[in-house]
């Protein structure tokens, strides 16, 4: 009795959920933090039908796994969601170990629930951020080939028409334009390292003619793939967009 009292005093001093269970898997004691955390009256258990402190999905799995684990005398390990006093379901790492007598029989289980919600969400955001960065980088790397190819083709035409000044100037401007776009894309690739999940990508919005953006894009494509695309834009389509992103 004295040892039990000392254990309960120590467990009640911890800002963590601590509990004990009988060999039949019934949780017979919770420390004070369990009730303070849940904001529920004393006597509330994890499978209480009236208050349902555990997330229904997790409670269904636990009701099958927990008794089976105790019956086998094995340590229990699971992630579960509990409804905090503010109504938010939060993830916990739930662990319980068997206490056995000299004959190896389980006489008690002692367990603890650790709130890992913030840590778990941070890990998920890191995974999402990495996937977003990879998609963004792969897309930019693919698109980067277009201005490079356009610059290459324009250079070849420039060499062939070196004696035609208007053609030289036209192709030179295409090369410069393609190099500028490639330079912006490289900058975007560098910025990709700063992408965070849930954040918006910066766009430079400016007044422009959408038809002109389309013409420049088609010119680059036709340089790379031949005269396969015909654009009909008899009038301007003015507005505010990000020309680089649209290309």
State the pLDDT at residue 114.
94
State the pLDDT at residue 200.
63
Distance linking the first and last C-alpha atoms of the chain? 77
Q: Is the pTM of this model over 0.85?
A: no
Per-residue pLDDT tens digits for 20-63: 999 999 999 999 999 999 999 999 999 998 999 999 999 999 99
When mean pLDDT is compared over 1-15, 36-50, 173-187, the highest value belongs to: 36-50
Confidence tier at 190 by pLDDT (50, 70, 90): low
Contact 174, 223 (CB under 8 A): yes
Measured CA to CA, the distance from residue 39 to residue 160 in angstroms comes to 81
State the pLDDT at residue 118.
92
Residue 84's DSSP bridge partners are none
Neighbours of 235 (CB within 10 A): 7
Mean of all residue pLDDT scores within the chain: 85
Higher pLDDT, 214 or 106: 106
State the pLDDT at residue 147.
73
Q: What share of the chain is helix, strand, coil (3-state, %, to 5)?
A: 50, 20, 30
Higher pLDDT, 246 or 211: 211
Confidence tier at 176 by pLDDT (50, 70, 90): confident
Confidence tier at 174 by pLDDT (50, 70, 90): confident
65 Cβ contact list (under 8 Å, min separation 6): 76, 78
Kindly report the three-state secondary structure assignment for every residue of 227-240.
CCCCCCCCCCCEEE
Tokens of 234: 């008899």
State the pLDDT at residue 101.
93
User: Residue 34: which of 97, 99, 93, 84 has the closest Cα?
Assistant: 84
Using DSSP bridges, classify how beta strands 89-100 and 27-30 pair: parallel, antiparallel or unpaired.
Answer: unpaired
State the pLDDT at residue 245.
74
233 Cβ contact list (under 8 Å, min separation 6): 211, 214, 215
Per-residue pLDDT tens digits for 56-103: 999 999 999 999 999 999 999 999 999 999 999 999 999 999 999 999
Per-residue pLDDT tens digits for 159-170: 677 777 787 777
């Amino acid at each position: 009795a004295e040892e039990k009292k000392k254990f309960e005093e120590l467990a009640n001093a911890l800002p963590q959920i601590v509990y004990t269970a009988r060999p039949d898997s019934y949780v017979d004691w919770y420390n004070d933090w369990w009730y303070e955390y849940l904001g529920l009256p004393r006597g509330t258990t994890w499978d209480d039908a009236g208050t349902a402190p555990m997330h229904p999905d997790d409670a269904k799995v636990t009701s099958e796994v927990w008794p089976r684990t105790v019956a086998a005398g094995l340590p229990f390990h699971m992630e579960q969601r509990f409804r905090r006093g503010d109504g938010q379901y939060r993830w916990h790492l739930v662990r319980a170990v068997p206490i056995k007598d000299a004959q190896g029989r389980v006489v008690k289980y002692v367990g603890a629930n650790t709130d890992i919600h913030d840590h778990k969400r941070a890990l998920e955001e890191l995974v999402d951020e990495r996937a977003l960065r990879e998609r963004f980088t792969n897309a930019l790397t693919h698109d980067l080939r277009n201005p490079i190819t356009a610059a290459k083709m324009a250079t070849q035409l420039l060499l062939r028409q070196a004696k035609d000044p208007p053609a030289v100037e036209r192709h030179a401007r295409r090369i410069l334009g393609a190099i500028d776009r490639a330079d912006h894309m490289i900058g975007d690739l560098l910025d990709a390292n700063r992408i965070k999940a849930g954040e918006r990508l910066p766009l430079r919005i400016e007044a422009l003619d959408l038809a002109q953006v389309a013409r420049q894009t088609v010119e680059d494509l036709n340089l790379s793939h031949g005269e396969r695309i015909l654009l009909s834009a008899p009038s301007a389509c003015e507005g505010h967009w990000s020309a680089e992103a649209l290309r």
